[in-house]
Amino acid sequence: MQLKVVRVACFALVGALVGCSTAAAPAPSVRYTPIPTAVPTAAPSVSAAPTATPAPNYNEVPAAANDAAALTTELAMVEAGLRDPNVTGAKLAWLGHLQQLDYSRLQDYPEWKETVLGALPEQTRTAVNESLEAGKQLRQLTGAIPKNLPDWKIVAPAPIEELLGYYKEAESTFGVPWYYLASIHLVETRMGRIRGLSSAGAQGPMQFMPATWAFYGRGDINSDHDSILGAARYLKASGAPDNMPKALFAYNHAQAYVNALTLYAEAMKADAAAYRGYHGWQVYYPTKDGPVLLSVGWIKE
């Protein structure tokens, strides 16, 4: 089958800002793991003692620790909980969200990184490092802050095991490793949380342009299952699994995008439990007053 040269996707999180094109130039993006509150102008002391916190309410939005010592304790707790198979439901989702915010805090205060990561087990430390570097890569793709909130609806993602089943079905059918598909799903729509068009008309959980979907898609573009299989079909036609960098670049023509997806994928390949954390990451949208959390159920009025 001759490869049809049509750009597949644009970032749903930023499509309203920068649009998509078929050009090979990098598509700009926004920061992917912003914290929802203002960042202090001066970094708290690394030697500050951790502050006591009450028992968490797993139905409330978590807040990242504000000093290195507290963040060290908090992130160790978060990473251990995400790897505990007995942790499920609201607690698991809450830990994934807190992980997202903790990683963002480390991005904001890189001088804390050695202290915080040094307290983690080696395998966990590697996964965290890869996630942090992926976020750094995505931050290289900058775009203008939008003036309006997007015309989206935010929905709950399908359960972890259900999505994992779709990724692995696509892997068995097309040979594309499941963790690359999960990475695309994470970056494009936060595991399918975003419903709505990008500014260029990209659609569905894996953000297909309609012309590309017509060629590679089967079924419903808004279905997680059908969209994930469509993405695998396109990646296979673009060189996967033998040449994943080439295939990922065909999906979105930005090297930083390719680098970020590869890092997230490597984290999940080495430690499948990393996926449990990513599944809990939420949708934050940039505004002139700071990033806004678009929670499940949010819809533009």
189-199 residue pLDDT tens? 999 999 987 76
CA atoms 99, 34, 221, 150: torsion sign: positive
Pick 45 or 140 by higher pLDDT.
140
Confidence of residue 51 (pLDDT cuts 50, 70, 90): low
Confidence of residue 15 (pLDDT cuts 50, 70, 90): very low
Domain-embedded: residue 124: no
Helices (H), ranges, 109-141: 113-118, 122-139
Total domains present in the chain: 1
Domain-embedded: residue 102: no
Domain-embedded: residue 70: no
Domain-embedded: residue 110: no
Confidence of residue 259 (pLDDT cuts 50, 70, 90): very high
Confidence of residue 146 (pLDDT cuts 50, 70, 90): confident
Domain-embedded: residue 277: yes
Residues 236-252 have a mean pLDDT of: 97
Of 186, 190, 107, 95, nearest in space to 150 by CA: 190
Decide if pLDDT at 52 tops 90: no
Full-model pTM: 0.84
Enclosing domain of residue 257: 15-27+150-285
Q: Across all residues in the chain, what is the average pLDDT?
A: 85
Domain-embedded: residue 193: yes
Give the separation between CA 191 and CA 188, rounded to whole angstroms: 8
Q: What is the CATH number of the domain that holds 267?
A: 1.10.530.10
**Predicted pLDDT of residue 200:** 72
Domain-embedded: residue 217: yes
